[in-house]
Chain A
Amino acid sequence: MGSVLIIGKPNSGKSLLFNRLTGIRQKVANFPGVTVEVRVGESDGEAYADYPGVYSFNAMTRDEEVAIEEFRSALKSEDVSVVLCMIDATRLERSLVIGLQAQVAAKEAGKPIVFALNMMDELRSSKAEIDVAAIEKELGAPCAAISARTEEGLPELKILLKKVKTTPKDYISNQVTESVFEKAKDINSKFGPKAGLILKNQTQLDRFFLSSVFGGISFFFIMTIMFQSIFTWATPLMDLVEESIGWLATFTTGSMADGTFKSFLNDALFGGFGSFLVFVPQIFVLTFIIGLLEDSGYLARAALICHRPLSWFGLSGRSFVPLLSGHACSIPAMFAARTIESPRRRLLTYLAIPLMACSARLPVYSLLVAALIPSVSILGGLVGLQGFVFFLLYFFGIFVALILSAILSKTLYKTKTDSPFIIELPPYRPPHWKPLLLKSLYNSKMFITKAGGIIFAVTVVVWVLGYFPNGDGELGSSYLAQLGQFIEPLFAPLGLDWRYGVAVLMSFLAREVFVGTLGTIFGIENAEENFVGLVDSLNASGFTLASGVALLVFYAIALQCASTLAMMKKELGNWKAPIAVFFSYGILAYVLGWVSYVFVNSLN
């Protein structure tokens, strides 16, 4: 049977409904313009397609145009049997504008249309009502009152869709109108919710979150809490993982005779791969907090607050959400950047995203911070010093990105033509706990499986090169050391010996590899001991503060991520730009790393 096209206004709940119907995990967030590509899914032999939301068939950006074109041509296809138009019942008039236009298009193509009046739960909780039967009559098309969140009305909607699919001819609207704006207004004023009820809550909260004084303070406060908690909340969990790995290592290898196999288990598996697993809780906490913000509706407010300051640097308030998601991973961040209407600002945002402290940098940062910075409290016990340095690292990435963007927008991309900054402010919503937890778990799992394979392979290679030809403990005369001598001159200016050089070079495969490689190398070196935490090994190796700062600066800037480069190529259409970015960020990272090394050294 043919598929169902789900369309409608941005932020009306299309993707949530799609997920409910298909069991797929399409991204849902309380922000207009989350879905940027058509996604098709199937369940029980029924196919559904989730479209990016639009306010009308008048496309403004290239991506909107693509989505609308796709929708129109899908309508002509034999495979499509029904259009399901999502109506946000709390934003009835706006939803009906695109709904009525879709009705016209569906009729022209000879396809039936069904309306889903979503957010019934929200309508109820703000004590507002709509007249579903009257709206159905006005529209001349079947309507189902649903809540994609509470799942009320979904069984009925499925039955309705089946019925329409069996006799589609009976459901082709003949009540279409060309004056959609008038009709949308008319239906809303006659049968929609009473004015003022819906927005009461939102207006009150905005009075605080967007106030001239508290708006800025609360923005800063929320961001600080967010970055701090990645460090502080995750620490107990990380300690737990580290202890478990140590326990497992002792348990399995404790009674084993010394030898190649024991060294492999201890150094490559537990020391190398295990050191990387320690950081998974941070990914979990990070996803969880960004998810909280996405659910809440605050992101649109943050975009507003940041618009002015960001535009001083050539960016826009629209860049805020991509830059924030860049702290988890650049790939979804670049997808999010597609909603930036202005091509110039979009390009600058693409260049800024890889400088955000993404989750792959987290293991590197945490390891170095834990090794370099004493675990003490500052500001009268209010803030941990380590957490504070972490915050500075995040800030440093943002700072470099803004400076670069300002320079580029003043020199390379001077064109003045720009698109408007208009953004809908969605209602504030309580978080959706269960999907949020599931998503955070899923992301942690993805973090392990995606980087895990490559890290495991690298640790095995490093272990083999480090263990042979001499066997245990003789790292200094191993193959790895011989190779290491070659690259040492490159890292000597940063005060780093070949062991760190190898780890840095390996991390061009993926940043997290740095931790696994060091774990393996120090594992081989400390052969006598059983499992030792990597932080202790680092401290014992004569690692200096200056070198540590140099490494932190290097990792904050260098673009060591193949997927980001590939995505950049896809978005910009050529390899030239990503290659240029790769080399310029690499050189900048090295030079600034060296400058910080010299600077910190001069302080002692």
Chain B
Amino acid sequence: MKLWELQKDQAAYISGFIESVPKIYFNRLNELGFQIGVEVVCQRQSPFGGPKVYQIGDDVFSMAKDVASCVTVEIGE
């Protein structure tokens, strides 16, 4: 499933990226720590499809739908 589909307070592991991920998105996600195998928690959703808030480790990022839809995740190990 996509990272964007993760519900509030749900945790998951990053399993990859969609094939059509733009390089610029991929690079930024990578340097911010969104890498395969990393645990990510969806902290908050905003109304009207606004950016969601994700936590990885001690970092918290806010991300819009177009970016979060490029990351695929799996719930449970």
Q: Which of A290-307 contact B (CB under 8 A)?
A: 300, 303-305, 307
B18, CB-defined interface residue at 8 Å:
no
CB distance from B20 to the nearest CB of A (A): 14
Complex-state Cα separation, A94 to B30, whole angstroms: 11
Complex-state Cα separation, A345 to B21, whole angstroms: 21
B58 touches A91 (CB 8 A): yes
A420 touches B24 (CB 8 A): yes
A55, CB-defined interface residue at 8 Å:
yes
A contact residues, total (Cβ < 8 Å): 42
- State whether A212 and B47 are in contact (beta carbons under 8 Å apart), knowing that A423-B61, A425-B60 are contacts in the complex: yes
A422 touches B47 (CB 8 A): no
Residue in A193, A198, A206, A303 whose CB lies within 8 Å of B44: A206
- State whether A198 and B58 are in contact (beta carbons under 8 Å apart), knowing that A304-B50, A308-B49 are contacts in the complex: yes
A210 touches B33 (CB 8 A): no
Residues of B within 8 Å of A55, CB to CB, are 28, 31-32
A56, CB-defined interface residue at 8 Å:
yes
Residue in A60, A93, A202, A210 whose CB lies within 8 Å of B28: A60
Complex-state Cα separation, A364 to B53, whole angstroms: 41
- State whether A418 and B31 are in contact (beta carbons under 8 Å apart), knowing that A304-B46, A308-B48, A425-B53 are contacts in the complex: no
B46 touches A420 (CB 8 A): no
Q: Which residue of A lies closest to B50 (CB)?
A: A308
- State whether A97 and B50 are in contact (beta carbons under 8 Å apart), knowing that A193-B58, A424-B61 are contacts in the complex: no
A94 touches B32 (CB 8 A): yes
B24 touches A308 (CB 8 A): no
A421 touches B59 (CB 8 A): no
A195 touches B57 (CB 8 A): yes
CB distance from B32 to the nearest CB of A (A): 6
- State whether A58 and B27 are in contact (beta carbons under 8 Å apart), knowing that A94-B33, A216-B47, A420-B64 are contacts in the complex: yes
A563, CB-defined interface residue at 8 Å:
no
CB distance from A308 to the nearest CB of B (A): 4
| Binary contact track A299-325/B, C-beta < 8 Å → 1, others 0 | 010011101110000000100000000
A244, CB-defined interface residue at 8 Å:
no
Residues of B within 8 Å of A373, CB to CB, are none
Complex-state Cα separation, A300 to B64, whole angstroms: 14
Q: Which residue of B lies closest to A419 (CB)?
A: B24
A210 touches B67 (CB 8 A): no
Complex-state Cα separation, A94 to B31, whole angstroms: 8
CB distance from A460 to the nearest CB of B (A): 53
- State whether A305 and B53 are in contact (beta carbons under 8 Å apart), knowing that A55-B31, A90-B58 are contacts in the complex: no
Residues of A within 8 Å of B43, CB to CB, are 203, 206
Residues of B within 8 Å of A198, CB to CB, are 58
Which of A418, A422, A425 has most B Cβ within 10 Å? A422
A396, CB-defined interface residue at 8 Å:
no
Residues of A within 8 Å of B10, CB to CB, are none
A212 touches B60 (CB 8 A): no
CB distance from A65 to the nearest CB of B (A): 12
Q: Which residue of A lies closest to B70 (CB)?
A: A420
A188 touches B47 (CB 8 A): no
A92, CB-defined interface residue at 8 Å:
yes
Complex-state Cα separation, A73 to B13, whole angstroms: 39
A422 touches B60 (CB 8 A): no
Residues of A within 8 Å of B51, CB to CB, are 304, 307-308, 317, 421
B24 touches A60 (CB 8 A): yes
A493, CB-defined interface residue at 8 Å:
no
A210 touches B46 (CB 8 A): yes
Residue in A93, A420, A423 whose CB lies within 8 Å of B58: A93
A215, CB-defined interface residue at 8 Å:
yes
A424 touches B33 (CB 8 A): no
Complex-state Cα separation, A233 to B28, whole angstroms: 43
B7, CB-defined interface residue at 8 Å:
no
Residues of A within 8 Å of B30, CB to CB, are 58
| Binary contact track A188-217/B, C-beta < 8 Å → 1, others 0 | 100011010011001100110011100110
| Binary contact track B44-76/A, C-beta < 8 Å → 1, others 0 | 111111110101011111111011000000000
- State whether A422 and B58 are in contact (beta carbons under 8 Å apart), knowing that A304-B51, A305-B50 are contacts in the complex: no
Complex-state Cα separation, A304 to B59, whole angstroms: 16
A91 touches B59 (CB 8 A): yes
Q: Which residue of B lies closest to A184 (CB)?
A: B33
Complex-state Cα separation, A192 to B66, whole angstroms: 33
B57 touches A188 (CB 8 A): yes
Complex-state Cα separation, A211 to B28, whole angstroms: 27
| Binary contact track A507-519/B, C-beta < 8 Å → 1, others 0 | 0000000000000
A479, CB-defined interface residue at 8 Å:
no
CB distance from A148 to the nearest CB of B (A): 19
Q: Which residue of A lies closest to B60 (CB)?
A: A425
Residues of A within 8 Å of B32, CB to CB, are 55, 94, 422, 424
CB distance from B63 to the nearest CB of A (A): 5
CB distance from A53 to the nearest CB of B (A): 12
- State whether A97 and B53 are in contact (beta carbons under 8 Å apart), knowing that A91-B59, A424-B61 are contacts in the complex: no
A388, CB-defined interface residue at 8 Å:
no
| Binary contact track B6-22/A, C-beta < 8 Å → 1, others 0 | 00000000000000000
- State whether A420 and B53 are in contact (beta carbons under 8 Å apart), knowing that A56-B31, A304-B62, A425-B62 are contacts in the complex: no
Q: Which residue of B lies closest to A417 (CB)?
A: B22
Closest 9 CB pairs of A and B: A308-B50, A56-B31, A421-B64, A420-B67, A304-B62, A425-B60, A55-B31, A58-B27, A420-B25
Task: List 12 contacting pairs A-B, 8 Å CB cutoff, sorted by A.
Answer: A55-B28, A55-B32, A60-B28, A93-B58, A181-B35, A210-B46, A307-B50, A419-B24, A420-B67, A421-B66, A424-B61, A425-B61
